Structure 1
Amino acid sequence: MRKLPLIAYFFTLSTAVAVLFPSLTFAQRYKPRSITGLLGAFGAEVALVKKAIHKPKNVIVDGLSFTTGRIGKQRVVVAETGIGKVNAAMTTALMLDHFRPTRILFTGIAGGTNPDLQPGDIVIASRTAYHDYGSITDKNTPTKQTRNAITKEFNPVYFLADSVLLHLAENVVKRVPLEGIPLASGGVSDRPVKVMTGTVVTGDVFVASSDKGKSLRADFGADATEMEGAAVAQVCYQIQVPHLIIRSLSDRADAEAHIAYDKFYPTAARNSANVVIALIKAL
């Protein structure tokens, strides 16, 4: 029997694998590298994190800018997603595909729907969900689950945060100095910044309605609402990459939300970024 060259054996083997295992998904083939992905929706939020990067290097992937470097001893890649679910999902997917991070963290602001919270407070998301996905019927059908494009199965309504990252964040935040709320008089509120683990809901809408805020609280148990978190969480869930969403409140998602946003956004962005940076250094 004539012997095949060694290269032919490798070719034959690779062909057999492709034929026998065509259903291997990207999630199953995902090989993470020792790098942490950091995302934020706004340039100002991302800029705060970038300031902490040692020896930053800019990388362009399909037109989007990613910055690599180190925060503490950790290798990181940072990117601005832009506002909304599609932008967030696209940037997350590109980051996962190109850089293969071990985990994804999201920093940013949100509107508060928990009446016990006020601007500047922090919500560490133990779970995220879409509040604008589902069927619209006369019977007010409850929000339905999204479907996993990889497995074709239904996703959970709530995407759970990685338990290890969540526990670490809960401990780290106790040691992070957080800014109090600016007052109209020019001073700062002596009320300590409240930090809680809770539920964050996502939709392609800036909520500025007390009635809508109450509805999100009643229907989802929402503590905060924003426009990107669940999209990031869904991509991470489907690719099986650990994630955590951290939000600081810029407003209370009520009729005064636009006014409060302009006033408290800088404080909220700094508080959220400082928590994420401290979390990275603690990994």
Structure 2
Amino acid sequence: MIGSSPRLDLLIVGAVPPEVDPLKSWLSSAEQIETEWTPCWLGGFGRLKVGLASLGIGKVNAAAGSAFLIGRFRPTMVWIVGSAGAYALGPLKIGDVLVSSTVFLGDEGVWEKEGLRSMEAVGIPVAEERGRAVFERLVLEGDELFERLVRVTPPGLYVADSPSEHMPRALPYPETTGMLEGSGKLPPKPFRVLIGPSVTVSLSSGDEWVAKERFSRYHAWAEDMEGSALIQVCRRFGVSVAQCRGISNRAGVRDKSLWRMHEALAHCHAVVGSWLCAFHENP
């Protein structure tokens, strides 16, 4: 069994248990460690030491929880997983997976009658990275980790398949279709992986007007409630970070009978499964 405070190769975090719990079965010798913030599952994936944790919803839980766990387990990298709501005017559909290239700091700055303005209007940056002040967005594109993960799952059409008993992977759709020819099995429902911008908000969009205004303001494709806070903490600790989210609903549509959370998380987890396999084969 792994000790109480190992140094992890990878910490995978989500806001709520359904975003990370299915991944427990992927780990060997998995054990639950109780911490002062949240339970953390630790185990192995081949040569990788991996931790899983749900931190709670919102920026405060994301920032405080990730800072605590990074300080205790000192991971080399953090992967943010979960669901997100896509803006109707953007390219994402329900069931797609978004790998964030840029994450905007939504709801931070100045709210005036004319609209929202970033922290640049205040004149105080939230961080400084690579010699520049950060007022409104955190850029992941160009990071070594981001570029490596995008090479594993470049933009395109995929299916969630399970070559092994426990762990799904995102396989290119034509490749899987060919594998199933003559088998009598129907191919799984395809989904797209897209690379693009997201925005982290404190208040989720409650109607379509708000969602349209946010899309016009940030030009992001989807919204979440934790990403920017997690990325800020990782950057302060010098930890590589990436974000992968399945699209469960249209931002601004509160009718949960139209949401597809299970589908969104299954596709997100398939992408993460492909990432894990790639790092296991070539750490």
Shift of 1:46: 0.9
The answer to whether residue 17 in structure 2 is matched with residue 43 in structure 1 is yes
SS in 2 for 1:177: strand
Mapping of 1:82-231 within 5 angstroms? 82-113=56-87, 114-144=89-119, 146-148=125-127, 154-161=133-140, 163-173=143-153, 177-178=159-160, 192-231=190-229
Cα RMSD (Å): 2.8
Count of residue pairs brought into register by the alignment: 241
Specify the code of the residue in structure 2 equivalent to 1:165.
L
Instruction: Give the gaps of 5 or more residues in structure 1.
Output: 1-31, 180-187
The answer to whether residue 216 in structure 2 is matched with residue 236 in structure 1 is no
Counterpart CA distance in 2 for 1:140 and 1:254 is: 18
Q: Identify which range, 195-204 or 57-66, moves more after superposition.
A: 57-66
Counterpart CA distance in 2 for 1:163 and 1:257 is: 37
- Normalising by structure 1, what TM-score? 0.76
Mapping of 1:65-84 within 5 angstroms? 65-84=39-58
User: When you count helix as a share of all residues, which structure comes out higher?
Assistant: 1
**Does the 8 A contact of 2:247 with 2:264 survive in 1?**
yes
Shift of 1:49: 1.5
Specify the code of the residue in structure 1 equivalent to 2:149.
A
Q: 1:192/1:142 Cα in 2 relative to 1: closer, same or farther (>3 Å)?
A: same
What residue number does 1:265 align with? 261
Counterpart CA distance in 1 for 2:126 and 2:254 is: 36
Shift of 1:64: 1.5
1:280 to 272, 276, 283: 276
**Does the 8 A contact of 2:106 with 2:202 survive in 1?**
no
SS in 1 for 2:107: coil
User: When you count strand as a share of all residues, which structure comes out higher?
Assistant: 2
Shift of 1:80: 0.4
Specify the code of the residue in structure 2 equivalent to 1:54.
S
**Does the 8 A contact of 2:102 with 2:196 survive in 1?**
yes
Instruction: Give the gaps of 5 or more residues in structure 2.
Output: 1-5, 162-185
Counterpart CA distance in 1 for 2:32 and 2:160 is: 29
Percent identity between matched residues is 25
- Normalising by structure 2, what TM-score? 0.76
**Does the 8 A contact of 2:116 with 2:217 survive in 1?**
no
Specify the code of the residue in structure 2 equivalent to 1:157.
E
**Does the 8 A contact of 2:8 with 2:51 survive in 1?**
no
